[in-house]
């Protein structure tokens, strides 16, 4: 694990597919205090791997989807190199 990471836990949630492609994910968000649905609106492909670069987040509140963040742009870096010092 990288230096400073005390514990890593596995992803607990749902992955949403459309025609065999990942289009979003759902999980409990401690930030929202509710179930969150993240939809990938724009993807970029590099070396056969698709990365999300634009997304929107919905919170499930009292059984209804409420927009939390729409059109969020993510900084995109393909294959960022991690220095060996992180793992010492």
Residue 46: predicted pLDDT: 82
Report the SS3 class of residue 86.
helix
Cβ 78 vs Cβ 62: under 8 Å:
no
What was the pLDDT predicted at 83? 60
pLDDT for res 43: 83
Over residues 74-82, the mean pLDDT reads 55
Residue pLDDT, tens place only, 16-65: 998 988 889 999 988 888 899 988 888 888 888 787 888 888 888 888 88
**For residue 3, what pLDDT band results from cuts at 50, 70 and 90?**
low
For residue 19, what are the contacts with CB-CB under 8 A and spacing of at least 6? none
pLDDT at position 26, please?
92
Task: Answer whether 28's CB lies under 8 Å from 13's CB.
Answer: yes
CA-closest candidate to residue 64, choices 27, 35, 41: 35
Collapse the DSSP code of 10 into the 3-class scheme (helix H, G, I; strand E, B; otherwise coil) and give the result: coil
Could you report how far apart the first and last alpha carbons of the chain are, in Å? 9
């Amino acid at each position: 694990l990288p230096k400073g990471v005390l514990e890593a836990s596995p992803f607990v949630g749902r992955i949403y597919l459309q025609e065999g492609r990942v289009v979003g994910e759902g999980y409990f968000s401690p930030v929202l205090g509710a179930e969150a649905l993240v939809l990938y609106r724009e993807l970029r492909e590099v070396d056969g791997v698709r990365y999300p670069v634009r997304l929107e987040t919905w919170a499930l509140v009292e059984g209804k989807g409420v927009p939390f963040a729409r059109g969020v742009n993510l900084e995109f870096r393909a294959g960022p190199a991690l220095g060996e010092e992180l793992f010492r």
